[in-house]
Chains A and B, each alone.
Chain A
Amino acid sequence: MTALLRTESLTAGYGAAPVLHEVDLDVNTGSITAVLGANGAGKTTLLRTLSGLLPATHGRVLLDGKDLRGVRVEEMVRRGVAHVPEGRGVVTELTVDENLRLGGLWRKDRADVRKAMTEVYELFEPLARRRKFPGHQLSGGERQLLALGRALVGRPRLLLLDEPSLGLAPKITAQIMTLLGTLRDRSGLTVLLVEQNVRGALAIADEAVVLALGRVVTRGTDIDDEMRHAYLGF
């Protein structure tokens, strides 16, 4: 397998103090990688740096082997990277339908955008019933579904997901995890999944990376008990 996404001693942060320290990461094509760690470990910062919202102070990010330095945030989606930010991804002033359309506006293939929107409405039944509702009238869970659905309308190759299970009922979380697995198996989607729901994430992840205080402390297909106690608290 080849690495779709790779970071080399990636360092980034807000102001003078870095949050991420020298992070090396390989995310293989068609795999799901779970990024785990306590609050403040730098998980969200990692995703923000990968999508370019936060500039790296040191090190680099490679997509398909190409350095992403100087690539603008709005260009990332055209390269197949969809970043679903934590919690606030929905534009609450716009309707469900408008949010979904927004996910496909950059694409030239309008027919496929319509097809993708239909698929999302079929996948996420609660959204189909609220097409004309403004985002601020949705529940937290519905907003998560909408943010994820909107990313799927863009038919990404790499999905950067920040806490998709936040505020969701366990049943819906399980559905989303299953869906991610299906998308990986069927269309070769690559996912970098930041999660607090460690069990759920590990259940579908091909690999896990544990961050603590901005450094990668362990990685692998199997997180052993000592690591779980030390960094994940269970």
Chain B
Amino acid sequence: MFLTFDGLSRGAVYAAFALALVLIWRATRIVNFAQGAMAVATAYAGFEVSAATGSYWLGFAVAIAAGLILGAVTERVVMRFVDHSSPLNGVVVALGLVLVIQGGLGMIFGSEFRPAEAPFSRDAFTVGGVALLSRFDLFVFAAVGIVVVLLALLFTRTHTGLRMRAAAFAPDVSRLLGVNVSGMLTLGWALAAAVGSLAGMLVLPTELGLHPNAMDIVFVSSFTAAVVGGLDSAIGSVLGGLIVGLLLSYVSGYLGATVAPIAVLILLVVVLLGRPGGLFSRSAARTV
């Protein structure tokens, strides 16, 4: 029971992070391998502000805002100029960005682990002697839930959401209809990076703490979650995140934590071999 709640809590974080990957993939056909490093960078900014001001929430807000800015800057300054003739180009540039960000963080903050503070107790409530979930887990569920709902509303109910979807699917047609496609791309990157930052702020206190490479392992799990869900499906990425979280939790609980990363990789391989389009993707949605 505890493993289930623990898995769902981790899964919620992977879901958010996977969702951020899917947002960028859908808009640009780039898997943003730099997302982990970007999230760590904004988390450093957030925790620095928290340490300086003593207010966790101010730091939290700074981290999310830094995510928005970093995402927009990354798109405007770097990703915009990636040549799309080969899908590998975006990957290579993103990986380069990882090295730059992680190297930069190491130079500024050092590469030792720092503790990352949690805003709520991580002690689990117990019901009838069985540990269930902590206040922090509840916070994670609430934060991810709110973000998922807000994004869903943005994309389905607002003009901007419609513009963003159109710009991603058919850039030329959208421009002919007066949509500022390049602005929508920047907005998409900003939102995705902010969601990534949120995931970072939610996962760093539970995992290893703050470190330039801290999100690498989270990235692997979340990327798996996104692939499991089908890279094109936002709902799929959320479900994929929960599946990966549960898998990790059960495997760590019953077989040991060292086996868990292997289980994730096995899941990734199995999905790629069995259903490369993801478990929740509709087949051949785009026919022209």
List A residues at the B interface (Cβ < 8 Å). Answer: 51, 53, 72-78, 82-83, 85, 87-94, 98, 101-103, 105-106, 134, 136, 150, 154
Contacts and interface: CB of A to CB of B under 8 A. Distances in A.
Interface string B168-183: 0110111111111100
B180 A74 contact: yes
6 contacts: A53-B172, A73-B175, A74-B181, A76-B176, A85-B176, A105-B159
Contacts, number: 78
B173 A89 contact: yes
Interface stretch (B29-37, B112-120, B280-288): B280-288
A105 B177 contact: yes
Nearest to A93: B169
Given A53-B176, A74-B175, A93-B169, A136 B181 contact: no
Contacts of A76: 176, 178
B220 to A, nearest CB: 29
A205 to B, nearest CB: 23
Contact of A93 (B172, B177, B285): B285
Interface of B: 159, 162-163, 165-166, 169-170, 172-181, 285-288
A30 B251 CA distance: 72
Contact of A105 (B162, B181, B285): B162
**B170, B172, B181, most chain A CB atoms within 10 A:** B170
Given A102-B163, A105-B162, A136-B285, 11 more contacts: A74-B178, A74-B179, A78-B178, A85-B173, A88-B173, A88-B288, A91-B173, A92-B285, A98-B165, A102-B177, A102-B179
Contacts of B175: 53, 72-74
A94 to B, nearest CB: 6
Could you tell me the dominant secondary structure of chain B's interface residues?
helix
B286 to A, nearest CB: 6
A102 B174 contact: yes
**B169, B170, B177, most chain A CB atoms within 10 A:** B177
**A53, A72, A74, most chain B CB atoms within 10 A:** A74
A150 B172 contact: no
Given A91-B169, A105-B163, A77 B176 contact: yes
Contacts of A103: 177
A72 B178 CA distance: 9
A92 B288 contact: yes
A74 to B, nearest CB: 5
A94 B26 CA distance: 14
A103 B178 CA distance: 8
A98 B162 contact: yes
Contacts of A75: 178
B282 to A, nearest CB: 10
A68 to B, nearest CB: 14
